[in-house]
Amino acid sequence: METLVGKKAPKFEAKAVINGSEIVDAYSLEQFVGKKEVIFFFYPLDFTFVCPTELLAFEEKLEEFKKKNVEVVGCSIDSEFSHWAWLQTDKNNGGIKGVTYPIVADLSKTIAENYGVLAGEYDFDEDGNSVFNGAPVAYRGLFLIDKKGVVRHSVINDLPLGRSVDEALRMVDALQHFEEYGEVCPANWKEGDDAMKATQDGVADYLSNH
């Protein structure tokens, strides 16, 4: 599938759990357009092993995202009721109690499919019956969406591979630095490092000093 980077993030309206306990019927990322960036991430399933470590890690860093005016939103193919139950389950029992950012329910799998992270596809068998080939869950996809609703960064991990929340924060810093100063960010750049002017002279200046 073609990358979404540089394109408008696919729109959706879906049920979600917000504030750790409140179910809403029509959650959408459109509410943040023109106001803030969004980290929108997918995980395979509720009540699993790697997934709670990721969701809790995002919650641990949530204040840092908020200080940068970034909304964090999770999503899986589970129902809103499964999300709610998981959010009420203590951490020592495999739950994610204490997570406060929104978690979207993608029971139809259409959001995951539109974002290119569904770990399989629908097909037909020789008798014409609809079948699903692969795993009917989402890969560990993450998308950084800017204030215009455009995807500026994405990363997709296979199911066993947990992702880095610190790297998501680094990419937010890089995007915001570029948006504010017009300077591009070289490899391994982090907030406070020198960036580069997006001109040939700027590249020469950077290389001569490093």
Q: For the segment 56-104, what is each residue's pLDDT rounded down to a tens digit?
A: 999 999 999 999 999 999 999 999 999 999 999 999 999 999 999 999 9
**Whether 186 and 85 share a structural domain:** no
CA pair distance 108, 125, nearest whole angstrom = 20
**pLDDT over 90 (residue 126):** no
Same domain (yes/no): 135, 170: no
End of a domain among 124, 144, 162? 162
pLDDT tens per residue, range 13-23: 999 999 999 99
8 lies in some domain: no
Q: 172 and 151 in one domain?
A: no
Sheet holding 70-76, edge to edge: 22-27, 14-18, 103-105, 70-76, 37-42, 140-145, 151-157
6 belongs to a structural domain:
no
List the end-to-end C-alpha distance of the chain, in Å, as a whole number.
Answer: 38
Instruction: Give the count of domains, the chain.
Output: 2
pTM of the predicted structure, to 2 decimals: 0.90
Q: Is 51 a catalytic residue?
A: yes
Q: Give the largest CA-CA distance in the chain.
A: 67
> What pLDDT was estimated at residue 202?
46
Catalytic residue, chosen from 38, 45, 51, 112, is: 51
